[in-house]
Structure 1
């Protein structure tokens, strides 16, 4: 049971990255590869500040600012220099490897026996259950803030930029600024996942972000599949399903390991699972036709 509880906790840690991918890919239709670097950046900034005994109210804004800056740089390269969004993300992600290594100072930094977000409050005596409640509140607050933002006039303009850029531009909205803001927000959320995971696993690693985009993408694809099947249009329900997708993704991987699959094959299983989820809607369309 603890095995699946750990998977649930990891799913909650990855909820923020799922929300970030949802904003960049589903709202703005931008395949943002900056994710790999900004996720690691969040973990690296967290680790360095924790080892320097900085409080949570300093670390959290620093992580958000670092991630937002990385996303904004990608947005500026894409919109102002007219470089393909995918290439812009790759360029920033590549640069972030050196930035992260410079901040961390080495390849791995342990955080054992250091105070963290999960030791601030003792809601229950069991450490895993205590972590669960803290994570649950943290994720609900983030999701509520994003949902509220997307329902405001500014959020509606963001969504309209992804749906019909030419139409919203004709209404006087600066779409370049919207894209930069959207990518900054998406990568701030991604950095928050790095912030949570670094504290949850007890270390930050320079390579922790390699391939992490598939975790967020897989979570969003699960959510999108459920949204299409249920024919939902509500922003709030969509965000709930994105969070659910992040948890389901981790539970599926946990089940895979529990049935005896070699951990060395986990990346193949992950890629295969995402491929199946991506293919399901298309297979359904083929059958219906």
Structure 2
């Protein structure tokens, strides 16, 4: 793998690290299986790309994309909390609706950003090439969001949200409005995913209505993979593990597709993804089994 491919994998890993943060918040913190991310990711891309093409500031476009993603998460949570629709079904309904909404926003299946000013444009005039500046810019953005997310989860509201996911009945007994916590958590989760979609569209130069297919799998693979390779004793370590998992996942994909001996091509991406996700799920159990065997052998 050459330097450009390596840094490109890092760049994608940083973007999907934000997706992993959102998935971690919904799946791990709230215990809410959320498939909305397959729709909120292209939603963020569609909103930001459309606003940028119409002459708006790219930072403002990214902020509006985050608000749109939060709205999508609120709809899913509202269907579950207020209308009592099963959380998985509620997220599927929102995801399906977002496909049509994204088409409405863009007015066509895709929007090109070639030649448009994005949030990366001011950094392209420096001495460093784009394939170095882009990961650096994304690193700063992701680290800022990581710090803010950790601070939030250690705040009073964040602790109430964590209690809601861990034991809703006990949380209600302590006066926590669990419905509001779910609404807030799902809004933040999908806002993070929408920001990832906006950044991805600006770095790739286009937004496409189908770019959200399989995003939930990537997010889950990042969360599970990060937990498999890192300790998650504290909330900070757990969130860092999500980012590490996303970067390792993208590096593994890039390595597999660039190994000539495997003979894999770009159309094999979904196959490689399925294999990596399966490995990420199975690896923790295998590690525990092996440690148990060695422990019994020593005794």
TM-score when normalising by structure 1: 0.96
The 8 Å contact of residues 77 and 83 in structure 1, kept in 2 or not, is answered as: yes
Deviations 1:233-276 (A, max 9, x none): 22112211111111100000000011031221110110111001
Residue-by-residue CA offset, 1:201-240 (whole Å, 9 max, x unaligned): 100001000111111111001122234xx3x322112211
> What stretches of structure 2 of length at least 5 have no aligned partner?
294-299
How far apart, CA to CA, are the structure 2 residues paired with 1:135 and 1:119? 13
C-alpha separation between the residues in 2 aligned to 1:262 and 1:128?
22
The answer as to 2:226 corresponding to 1:223 is yes
Matched, 1:273 2:281: no
SS at match of 2:8: helix
Deviations 1:26-52 (A, max 9, x none): 101111000000001000001100101
Residues 44 and 62 in structure 2, CA contact (< 8 A), matched pair in contact too: no
Structure 2 residue 83 is the aligned partner of structure 1 residue 90: no
Structure 1 unmatched ranges of 5 or more: none
CA drift at 1:175: 0.2
Q: Which has the larger radius of gyration?
A: 2
TM-score, length basis structure 2: 0.93
Partner Cα separation in structure 1 for residue 150 and residue 71 of structure 2: 22
Matched positions, count: 286
1:241 and 2:224 matched: no
CA shift, 1:185, in A, is: 0.5
Q: Secondary structure at the match of 2:138?
A: helix
Find the aligned partners of 1:151 and 1:248 in 2 and give their Cα distance. Answer: 27
1:252 match:
252
Do the aligned partners of 1:123 and 1:133 also contact (CA within 8 Å) in 2? no
Give the equivalent residue in structure 2 for 1:171. 174
In structure 2, the residue matched to 1:72 is: 74
**How far apart, CA to CA, are the structure 1 residues paired with 2:190 and 2:101?**
15
Shift of 1:70: 0.2
Pick the aligned partner of 1:262 from 265, 269, 290: 265
Q: Secondary structure of the residue that 2:117 maps to in structure 1?
A: coil
Moved more, 178-187 or 276-285: 276-285
Question: 1:51 aligns to what?
Answer: 53
SS at match of 1:8: helix
Alignment of 1:9-20 (within 5 A): 9-20=11-22
Measure the CA separation in 2 of the matches of 1:183 and 1:30.
9
Moved segments of 4+, more than 6 Å: none
Alignment match of 1:139 (pick from 133, 137, 142): 142
Moved more, 28-37 or 256-265: 256-265
Name the SS for the 1:109 alignment partner.
strand
Give the structure 1 partner of residue 183 of structure 2.
Answer: 180
Task: Please give the alpha-carbon distance, in whole angstroms, between the structure 2 residues aligned to 1:119 and 1:266.
Answer: 29
CA distance, structure 2, for counterparts of residue 234 and residue 70 of structure 1: 29
Give me the whole-angstrom Cα distance separating, in 1, the residues matched to 2:154 and 2:126: 33
Distance 2:134 2:65 in 1: 20
**Helix, strand or coil for the counterpart of 1:204?**
strand
Q: Does 1:34 align with 2:36?
A: yes
